[in-house]
Structure formats: C-alpha cells, structure tokens
Structure 1
Amino acid sequence: MTYWFASSNRDNWEIIRQKNIWGVPKRNKSIIERVKPGDKIVVYVAQQKKEVTEGKGDEILPSAVAGAFEIVSEGYEDSAPLFVTPERMGDEVFPYRVKLKPIKIFREPVEFKPLIPELSFIKNKTMWTGHIRVAMREIPEEDYQLILGRGE
C-alpha cells in the first residue's frame, strides 16, 4: 500500500468531497499510473484569500489538510469537465482520475504549517512549498498517520 499527498485548492476540494474523485493534470499521467486500489491519500488545500464584507478586509484561509480517502479504482482517463481549472493552467481538465472512498473528512481542516517540523517528507522546513507543488506525491506511512491523527 502506498500513501499519497494530493495538492488542491478549496474549490476542487468541494468537488473531491462531493464526487469522491481525484484528478491530476495531463502532465502527471505517470503518477496516476502508479496509484492502486487500497492506497491512501490525504488532500491538502492551498492558502487562499477569502473576500469578506466591505470594510473588513480579506480573510486568509491557511493551507490545510482537509481529509483522507482510500483509492478504490485503477487510474482512468476522463476528459469531461469536473474540476475548477486555476487560471494559470489554461484549459486543463485533470483527465487522469481515480475514484475515492472517504476515510476521514475533517470537520475543521488541519492547518498545515504547524505540521511541517514533524513531517519527514518535507526535507527543507523553511522552503517547504516546493515539496507540495506537484499534483500528488508519495509520503511515508508515518506522515500519513500523523496528519490523520490531527484531524477531528
């Protein structure tokens, strides 16, 4: 069994949570080919600015892990629009997908920055964003368990 760390945004997190599907960009086909049913995946959502009512400024939603899933299908290709494409990614539809079964959806997402000192897959603790820029990456079981244990 392999443990995965998947990077997303809050819009796509809602789609993942509702549809139980994870998708990666065309350039990441080789990663999805390594994923197998029974693997586990945690979904990270990037920091995001949330506009609030006039005069109150913007609220910053911190980077966080929102939930954990079991992968229940082989990877497959589906180009039907499903995910919200970030502006910088053009017409990407995240066509390489797997079906998921929820293990734990965190009531409150687990803030990511406080986890960094304890996560072994993050080698550079000060320049940590480089470790999570890819759509998904393999992580040690210990890191998966640590994240899972912090979620409510």
Structure 2
Amino acid sequence: MTRWLAISNRENSDVVIRKHVWGVPKRYANTIGRVQPGDTVLVYVGQKIVDRDVLPPALTGAFAVTSGVYEDTSRIFTAPQKLGDEVFPLRITLKPIKLFDPPMEFKQLLEHLQFITNKQQWSGHLRGKAMREIPEEDYAYIMQAAETPRD
C-alpha cells in the first residue's frame, strides 16, 4: 500500500469530498499510473486569500483508492487560470477515510514530516506536482494529528 499526497486547490478538494474522485492532467500519467486500489490519498490545498482573510495551506481529508486509473473528460474540476481549459481527465475513485473539519494547517505538521527535508523552503517539495508519494511514517503522523482537537 502506498501513501499519496494529492496537491490541489480548495475548489477541487470540495469536488473530491462531494464526488469521491481525484483527477490529474495527462502529463502526470506516469505518477497517477502508479496509484493502485488500496492506496491512500491525503488532499493538500494551498493558501488562498478570500477578501482580507488568508486561508493557510491545509489538509482536507484522507481517502482510500477504490479504482484503477480511468479517463473521463467531464468538467467537474476547476482549473487554475494558468492551466486554461484543463479537465484533469486521468482519474481515480476514492472512498473517504476521514474528512478533516476544520482542515489541518499544513505548516503546523512540517517539523515532523520526513518527506519535507527543507523545512524553510518546504513548498518546493510540492510545487509543480499533482501528486507525490509520502512515507508511511508521515501518513501515520498526520492521521494521529487528525485525532487531536483543533479550533
């Protein structure tokens, strides 16, 4: 079983939560092609500014992968402006394990995450990726932290 971090935005995280599906552009075929049923996916969302409020980078939930990769071009995801009319056609079906409500602030987890080797420039470990594999220990730490009450 492999643990994955899906790198998203808040709008697409909402799609994952509502529709139980994750999708990536075709250029990430090699990465999503390694995902197998039984793997798990944690959904990461980047910082977002809403009016004058800053929503920090966060994890929104943990999901079990229930399908192999399939192609679907229906428009359910919102593409960032730089990706134009991207539909994220390479998809997997998911089943919720735990929704993080409220979302878990990612920066508070950084010090304990092994895959983040540069704690000062941590975003470089995520930038330009749709998904990345994470160590079992990081997944276990995140799931344990999810059990700790948050405001």
Q: Identify the TM-score tier after normalising by the shorter chain.
A: over 0.9
Structure 2 stretches lacking a partner, 5+ long: none
Determine the C-alpha separation between the residues in 2 that align with 1:69 and 1:18.
12
Give the structure 2 partner of residue 96 of structure 1.
Answer: 90
3-state DSSP of counterpart to 1:49: strand
Query: Aligned-pair distance for 1:98?
Result: 0.1
Percent sequence identity is: 52
Per-residue CA deviations over 1:56-91 (Å, capped at 9, x if unaligned) read xx0000000010000000011111111001101111
Query: Aligned-pair distance for 1:132?
Result: 1.2
Structure 1 stretches lacking a partner, 5+ long: 52-57
Give the structure 1 partner of residue 43 of structure 2.
Answer: 43
1:25 aligned onto 2:20: no
Determine the C-alpha separation between the residues in 2 that align with 1:123 and 1:78.
35
TM-score by length of 2: 0.94
What's the Cα RMSD here?
Answer: 0.8
1:145 aligned onto 2:125: no
| Amino acid in the other structure paired with 1:106 | F
- Does structure 2 conserve the Cα–Cα contact (< 8 Å) formed by 1:109 and 1:151? no
Query: Aligned-pair distance for 1:34?
Result: 0.5
Count of residue pairs brought into register by the alignment? 146
Structure 1 stretches of at least 4 aligned residues deviating more than 2 Å after TM superposition: none
TM-score by length of 1: 0.93
Per-residue CA deviations over 1:106-136 (Å, capped at 9, x if unaligned) read 1111100111111000111111111112110
Per-residue CA deviations over 1:6-26 (Å, capped at 9, x if unaligned) read 111111111110000000112
Give the structure 2 partner of residue 5 of structure 1.
Answer: 5
